[in-house]
Structure 1
């Protein structure tokens, strides 16, 4: 039984997505299975994107002074 996509870590979702891509690229999956794999793969792709966007929002940009020394940090503004 497949794990719910919302429960997957980024790494687990990416591993499963890579497996699906390999299976689809092989051309061995019957049509109905290929459609199901494609749909699951698309959901996994969205999950990975959401996790990456959340991580990017937490990245801090380091502000440097005129001599290149860090002076402060600010939240990264994903844009």
Structure 2
């Protein structure tokens, strides 16, 4: 695992998202040299994948803890049906 990947793997969702938003904002401004923009894009892609992994993990946990109105477990239910 590279140093950059290790650095990202320790980030919370909120920290990773904040870094990703910063990268997007800087790239959108267009004032970044080509080599640096490629590095930023690669890091942004790694951050996006990390956020996606964390979201999927959170979704799986939510599916496991769905409770009925009386506080008893109803079994698992996909997250999408809980939102509808």
> TM-score with structure 1 length normalisation?
0.78
User: Offset of 1:55 from its aligned partner?
Assistant: 0.3
The one of 16, 20, 32 equivalent to 1:17 is 20
Query: Over residues 27-66 of structure 1, what are the superposed CA-to-partner deviations in whole Å (9 max), with x where a residue is unaligned?
Result: 0100000000000000000000000000000013345xxx
Rg (Cα) greater in structure: 1
Matched pairs, number: 73
Residue number in structure 2 paired with 1:44: 47
Change (3 A) 1:71 1:4: closer
2:11 is aligned with 1:34: no
2:62 is aligned with 1:61: no
Change (3 A) 1:58 1:33: same
> TM-score with structure 2 length normalisation?
0.74
Considering fraction of residues, name the structure with more helix: 2
**Which stretches in structure 1 are left out of the alignment for 5+ residues?**
64-68
2:8 is aligned with 1:5: yes
User: Offset of 1:75 from its aligned partner?
Assistant: 3.2
Q: Is residue 56–residue 76 contact of structure 1 (8 Å, CA) maintained in 2?
A: no
RMSD: 2.1
